[in-house]
Amino acid sequence: MTRIEVLRGDITTLAVDAIVNAANTSLLGGGGVDGAIHRKGGPKILEECKAIRNRQGGCATGEAVITSGGNLNAKFVIHTVGPVWSGVDHGKLDVLLANAYRNSLALALQHNVTTIAFPNISTGIYGFPKPRAAEIAIREVQNFLTKQPTIAKVFFVCFDEENFDLYETLLTSRR
């Protein structure tokens, strides 16, 4: 049985141990999936983000922090920051995106998370090319799962059809 599943829809509705937020370095909320998570999750998540910010000054690109799930069906929200796509040093941006997935999974493991859902980090406002991001996301998750049996299920939650089709195609070809 496969431990990776692709879903189409809104990540804020999922009843999993943790959903991942494509946050920004301020941790103060933003648009896209970040806005949706804070709207639905309520003020507690933002309060916890502010406390983390006061302690460590936000979250660097590629790093991850964790809060409760507030009013969401998820127990935790793991906030990670993907890179903003730009014209320079694409290899470095690839590494930062891979770090965002890997550090989110490592944090999940520390909190005994067994089911986790990812949005397509960096592929919205941050403009990372979707096929390139999907390759990185799948590679990092597959590598992690090979080494870590305690994570039972990873969902890739695709909001748009292009990402959904990309993930379906890539995962089908690798199973």
Site for ligand ADP, rule CB under 6 A: 10-12, 22, 32-34, 36, 82, 119-126, 157, 159-160, 163
Query: Which is closer to ligand ADP, CB of 23 or CB of 145?
Result: 23
CB of 149 to ligand ADP, least distance (A): 27
Query: Which is closer to ligand ADP, CB of 49 or CB of 55?
Result: 49
In whole angstroms, how far apart are CA 121 and each of 7, 32, 124?
15, 10, 8
CB 29 within 8 A of CB 48: no
Nearest partner of 15 among 141, 131, 157, judged by Cα: 157
Sign of CA dihedral 77, 80, 86, 90: negative
CB of 125 to ligand ADP, least distance (A): 4
Catalytic residue among 10, 17, 34, 94: 34
CA angle 81, 27, 75 (to 5 degrees): 85
| 94 catalytic residue (yes or no) | no
Query: Which is closer to ligand ADP, CB of 15 or CB of 147?
Result: 15
Active site positions, annotated: 34
